[in-house]
A = this chain, B = another copy of it.
Amino acid sequence: MAGNTFGQLFRITTFGESHGVAIGVILDGCPAQLPIDLDFIQSELDKRRPGQSKITTQRKESDTVQVLSGTFEGKSTGTPIAMLIPNEDQRSKDYSHNTDVYRPSHADYTYDAKYGIRDHRGGGRSSARETAARVAAGAIAKLLLKQYGVEVFAHVSAVGQIQAPNLAQDDIAALLSIREDNIARCADPATAHQMIEFIDSVRKDGDTVGGKVSCIIKNCPVGLGEPVFDKLHADLGKAMLSINAVHGFEYGSGFSGSEMRGSEHNDIFLANEGQPKTLTNFSGGIQGGISNGMEINFTVAFKPVATIMHNQQTINAAGEAAEIKGKGRHDPCVVPRAVVIVEAMAALVLADHLLRNKTSRL
């Protein structure tokens, strides 16, 4: 109930603080006999790793994952898979001045108010460092999805007011190649260039900026999602909203759908052989909370990172006025590193619903 567990049948529990010994995750419920490709897990972590480019935090962490249990001769055994990521660059002295002062728009005050005690070093448990554990588990979810042909692809669709055009094509391998070719992780090279310039200028200002990540899921089997509370998009939404700094989620027609009429919004079924298809896809691949076999798509809005290199007025734990200036190593814009976190959480939701759906009928 303390909320460090996600998923029902394919279920993760994460632990660890930003500047503690290590962070990690236990994945329980991974079906036996799944090939566990350690290199793939590490390559996913490398996409989230700090210090990977000039537009990310310069904290140095190799984020090397260790698998402690649950695999045998390269395959899952059905028992819990525990993974550990030691913290290496724990310059917690950077944070010693924060002991008693509440950083604006961080979780310092709320943790203190809730628990009456707080590991103030680098945000402790509230640090986005926790998401590395999600990425490791999400990589195994992707390995499971691969067995079913499901593909998950996220990309930076906006940085500040710079909006990327719609995806030019739908081949995932090609899109991935374009995206990984630029440090903004945008699927459009020209927009990527603008985004990088902009983030870099924001960084030089000692400021930060928000952005959006969009995600598509291809070849999702029909029937995933439970129809009332655990609708597929509701679980995707919760997964995304649980990522640090996320302030909004929309799928299919999203917010713009609220301005449409039924006669334009309805997705007309096409008579054809095989699995039904629709002419449009305002439903975003999900109807009544259940996947319909069309492409699933959604977008996630990230607020700007709260740590800025400016002087800011704030208060201390006694409620007195205080001043703060960010001294840690932080990201000017979180979305390039968030892409793989969005994919990981989406993969975890899909893997969970794939398993859940195995019991929906005799």
| Residues of A near any B CB (own CB < 8 A) | 1-6, 8-9, 11, 13-17, 20-24, 26, 28-29, 31-34, 66, 68-70, 72, 75-82, 84, 102, 104-107, 109-111, 113-119, 124-126, 130, 147, 158, 160-161, 202, 207-212, 222-223, 225-231, 233-235, 237-238, 241-242, 247-255, 257-263, 265-274, 276, 278, 282-284, 287-293, 301-308, 310, 312-315, 319-321, 355-362
Q: Can you show 14 pairs from A to B with CB atoms below 8 A apart? A: A1-B29, A13-B28, A22-B82, A72-B118, A77-B118, A107-B289, A110-B223, A125-B228, A126-B288, A234-B241, A248-B257, A258-B301, A268-B314, A271-B320
Q: A1-B9, A69-B20 are in contact. Are A114 and B260 (CB under 8 A)?
A: no
A158 and B260 CA atoms in complex are apart in Å by: 12
Is there an interface contact between A5 and B20, defined as CB atoms closer than 8 Å? Answer: no
Is there an interface contact between A303 and B257, defined as CB atoms closer than 8 Å? Answer: yes
- Can you tell how many copies of this chain the complex includes? 4
User: Across the interface, which residues of B come within 8 angstroms of A4, CB to CB?
Assistant: 26, 28, 79-80, 226, 228-229
Is there an interface contact between A125 and B79, defined as CB atoms closer than 8 Å? Answer: yes
Is there an interface contact between A249 and B237, defined as CB atoms closer than 8 Å? Answer: yes
Is there an interface contact between A230 and B3, defined as CB atoms closer than 8 Å? Answer: yes
User: Across the interface, which residues of B come within 8 angstroms of A116, CB to CB?
Assistant: 32-33, 361
Is there an interface contact between B22 and A117, defined as CB atoms closer than 8 Å? Answer: no
Is there an interface contact between B361 and A31, defined as CB atoms closer than 8 Å? Answer: yes
User: Across the interface, which residues of B come within 8 angstroms of A13, CB to CB?
Assistant: 5, 13, 26, 28, 80
A268 and B315 CA atoms in complex are apart in Å by: 9
Q: A1-B8, A72-B117, A114-B360 are in contact. Are A263 and B308 (CB under 8 A)?
A: yes
In the complex, what residue of chain B is closest to A322 when comparing beta carbons?
Answer: B271
Is there an interface contact between B77 and A124, defined as CB atoms closer than 8 Å? Answer: yes
Q: A267-B105, A360-B115 are in contact. Are A242 and B229 (CB under 8 A)?
A: yes
Q: How far is the CB of A201 from chain B (nearest CB, A)?
A: 11
User: Across the interface, which residues of B come within 8 angstroms of A307, CB to CB?
Assistant: 262
User: Across the interface, which residues of B come within 8 angstroms of A321, CB to CB?
Assistant: 271
Most B CB atoms within 10 A — which of A32, A207, A241? A241
- Residue A361 contacts which of B32, B126, B250, B319 (CB distance < 8 angstroms)? B32
User: Across the interface, which residues of B come within 8 angstroms of A158, CB to CB?
Assistant: 258-259
Is there an interface contact between A276 and B319, defined as CB atoms closer than 8 Å? Answer: yes
Q: A257-B301, A272-B319 are in contact. Are A114 and B69 (CB under 8 A)?
A: no
A126 and B228 CA atoms in complex are apart in Å by: 7
- Residue A5 contacts which of B28, B113, B118, B266 (CB distance < 8 angstroms)? B28
Is there an interface contact between A362 and B33, defined as CB atoms closer than 8 Å? Answer: yes
Is there an interface contact between B288 and A303, defined as CB atoms closer than 8 Å? Answer: no
Is there an interface contact between B3 and A227, defined as CB atoms closer than 8 Å? Answer: yes
In the complex, what residue of chain B is closest to A235 when comparing beta carbons?
Answer: B238
A209 and B119 CA atoms in complex are apart in Å by: 49
A94 and B80 CA atoms in complex are apart in Å by: 24
Q: A105-B283, A315-B270 are in contact. Are A265 and B359 (CB under 8 A)?
A: no
Q: How far is the CB of A225 from chain B (nearest CB, A)?
A: 8
- Residue A209 contacts which of B110, B261, B306 (CB distance < 8 angstroms)? B261
User: Across the interface, which residues of B come within 8 angstroms of A273, CB to CB?
Assistant: 319
Q: How far is the CB of A135 from chain B (nearest CB, A)?
A: 14
Is there an interface contact between A105 and B287, defined as CB atoms closer than 8 Å? Answer: yes
User: Across the interface, which residues of B come within 8 angstroms of A209, CB to CB?
Assistant: 260-262
